[in-house]
Amino acid sequence: IITGLDTGQKDFDYSMVELAELAQANHMEVVTRIDQVIDRPNPATYFGKGKVEEIRDVADANHVSTIITNDELSPSQLRNLEEGTDCRILDRTALILEIFANRAQTKEAKLQVQIAELQYRLPRLQTSASERLDQQTGGGSGFTNRGAGETKLEMDRRTIQHHISHLRQELAAIDKSEQTKRKLRAKSAIPTAALVGYTNSGKSTIMNGLVRKYGAAEEKTVFEKNMLFATLDTSVRQLTLPDQKRFLLSDTVGFVSKLPTHLVESFKSTLAEAANADLLIQVIDYSDPHYKQMMATTAKTLKQIGIEDIPMINVFNKADKTEIEFPILEGDDQVVISAKQDASLDLLVDVIKKHLFKDYVTATLLIP
């Protein structure tokens, strides 16, 4: 069951649609959606009391195992909801973390996800039932005493903190070698373009299409699938155009609204690929009625990771699913295309060239 609180925020409905897609991306089947219109979340149970009972009954009747909430919950909300509904509770952050954990491929991405997961867990560690009882009865049985007054919970916290700093060191070592690679690329003076934008918008399809046309023969194609977060790791490919002009194209993590802060932090180094680019290519699913909100999300995420003044072209993709004519160029930095069509990719390459190679005079801008 996906659940959410409608507190009057304007993107509520859209964020619930997205939540269902996230659940599917995590291989879960959504049975139903339950909303509650409310001024602010209940500090103890997130939902109001009656709603918690309703959710429990619906879950019970449908043999539901998991309830997903649209917002990140406080540790006590999480515990109380779990007790009140008899189901596993997954908040939006935990759901995104699970997806990321399943998709991470490189050592770097795996470390980044692990760190984010531990940071999420840290404040949510639970006191065991017996310790809670001890606290209530003021001191307890004598069997749970831990010398210097350290509780099991404190020990768990310390263990996790140790683990986090250990992983951070490992990540720092990898980041260093990645930075060296990036510097080498910068030195080689091959200009770089980075695909950015909402997840599922068609970035991998564009990457694959261009690699197929202009990549080295042995290049593998990037994983492309109709699923959120198909792309988690950055991949960089070198493309050589028929006139021997070369550039690097990178494909990076897809964006999604309400991306947990821990994740944005953790993925900064992956996203840094975009920060080093000479040109950003924002891919937009033009057939999605929410495409404007998605563009806003992308802009916000880019700002969050400190990318603000790199030139950007907008690629309105999946035009084949709309009534709009394509491929077309609008101004000199917007194209309406379909990543699955050859003429579209040609037009896109032409616009990329114009931005990357200053002396390049466009030849095919007259394509209808």
Binding site for ligand GDP (CB under 6 A): 199-205, 224-226, 230-231, 254, 283, 317-318, 320-321, 338-340
Contact between 99 and 117 (Cβ < 8 Å): no
How many C-beta neighbours within 10 Å does residue 284 have? Answer: 22
Alpha-carbon distances, residue 28 vs 241, 248, 368 (angstroms): 43, 37, 43
Give the closest residue to 220 by CA, choosing from 228, 238, 229, 208: 208
DSSP-derived letter for residue 9 is -
Give the closest residue to 204 by CA, choosing from 228, 178, 175, 185: 228
Contact between 316 and 337 (Cβ < 8 Å): yes
Q: Which residues of 19-32 are buried (b: 16+ CB within 10 A; e: fewer)?
A: bebbbebbebeeee
Q: Look at residue 211 and give its three-state secondary structure.
A: helix
254 torsion bin: left (phi>0), alpha (psi -120 to 50), beta (else): beta
**Strands laid side by side in the 334-336 sheet:** 235-240, 246-251, 192-197, 279-285, 312-317, 334-336, 328-330
- Say if strands 66-69 and 192-197 run parallel, antiparallel, or are unpaired: unpaired
Beta bridge partners of 215: 239
C-alpha–C-alpha distance, residues 339 and 320, integer Å: 9
Indicate the residue among 67 and 281 with the shorter CB distance to ligand GDP: 281
Interhelix angle 152-187/107-121, rounded to 10 degrees, is: 150
